[in-house]
Amino acid sequence: MIVVIDYKAGNLYNVGNALKYLKAEFVFSGDPAVVIRADKVILPGVGSARAAMDSLAAQDLVQVLQRLRVPFLGICLGLQLLFEVSEEDNTQCLGILPGAVRRFNSSQVKVPHIGWNQVVGVGGFSQPPPSLLQDISEESFFYFVHSYFAPLVDSVTLGQTEYGNWFGSLVVQDNFYGVQFHPERSGEVGLKVLQNFLEVQ
């Protein structure tokens, strides 16, 4: 069973609609007992890092998520929460990945970053593509909406995107996966990303 974390925020229903389209069985839940029994977990994200972490803490989900051993997918803010800290309200995050999430420099680029952009494999796609990007063209565009961005971290960042500077848009460490873009709003290529996650063992 797939559990989509309901932490009283986030893009729950768009993610749910995408999973329904893929004929995946899932539930929305913020109950730790349900999350612990999940085969896969998805943390969607819209809103602020502080509000999201406060909600996860109030539902006793922080340590549950940190200790997960099943495949986990963080989307947008869900990716950012995997890191140690976010510059947004100086928020302590889940600390699963090393590094700090920063805000785009509004003197260099328009903030937030909204629209379609590409994800480039770190080291180039001469390497085998990350599992979430299997059978997806290197020229594909994905839909982004965010004001904060993940750092580039060796061995963790497998995909990067350029907007003023390069930032981490696809991260993987062990069973934890994160994408900065919204697969549920990225058309067929986004659905393929979700399908690839559903097939992760």
Give 111's contacts (C-beta < 8 A, 6+ positions apart). Answer: 103, 104, 105, 147
Tokens standing for 113? 């970053």
Query: Which residue among the candidates 84, 88, 184, 199 is catalytic per the annotation?
Result: 184
Known catalytic residue at 113: no
Query: Which residue among the candidates 87, 146, 182, 199 is catalytic per the annotation?
Result: 182
For 22-45, give the DSSP string. TT--EEEE--HHHHHT-SEEEE--
Residue 121 identity (one-letter amino acid): G
Tokens standing for 104? 């785009």
Query: Which residue among the candidates 76, 88, 113, 146 is catalytic per the annotation?
Result: 76
Tokens standing for 10? 């986030």
Q: Report yes or no: 104 and 164 within 8 Å, Cβ to Cβ.
A: yes
Residue positions annotated with a catalytic role? 76, 182, 184
